[in-house]
Copies of this chain bind each other. A is one copy, B any other.
Amino acid sequence: MTYAKTSAFTEEQQQLARVAKALAHPARVAIIQLLASKTTCISGDIAAELPLSRTTVSQHLQELKALGLIKGEIDGLTVCYCLNTSLLQKVQQQFTAFFQEASASSVCASDDSCC
């Protein structure tokens, strides 16, 4: 096993990395934006709006769903996806805290010369 040494890091770091990975593909960013913009929670129409095959989009949806960022509800023949806004807010806080910590770095505050 020359891979996946993630377990050696803190749970906090792993959690941030997991969410970041979910956003690490333009298709998934686009899916979230799409769900946020639509007034109705669309289903397979998502695939029609993206330059990817239905299968691939379905895969991306599963990844987002596995993390809990989106929710899917079966409505007869179609499946209705929507954002998990409460989780998204929690995630936003995590990212904000992380960036805050990083931006407030004491030493290299002056942006030009490092150290």
Is residue A115 contacting chain B, with contact meaning CB distance below 8 A?
yes
Cβ B96 vs Cβ A83 within 8 A? no
Q: Which A11-32 residues have a C-beta within 8 angstroms of B?
A: 13-14, 16-17, 20-30, 32
User: Given A36-B104, A108-B41, are A115 and B24 also a contact pair (CB < 8 Å)?
Assistant: no
Cβ B96 vs Cβ A96 within 8 A? yes
A39 to B115, CA, bound (A): 10
Q: Specify which chain B residues have a CB less than 8 angstroms from the CB of A95 in the assembled complex.
A: 92, 95, 99
Q: How many residues of A contact B (CB 8 A)?
A: 63
Cβ A107 vs Cβ B26 within 8 A? no
Is residue A62 contacting chain B, with contact meaning CB distance below 8 A?
no
Cβ B41 vs Cβ A27 within 8 A? no
With A5-B51, A85-B111 already in contact, 7 other A-B pairs whose C-beta atoms are closer than 8 Å: A9-B26, A13-B29, A13-B33, A17-B24, A33-B98, A35-B102, A39-B106
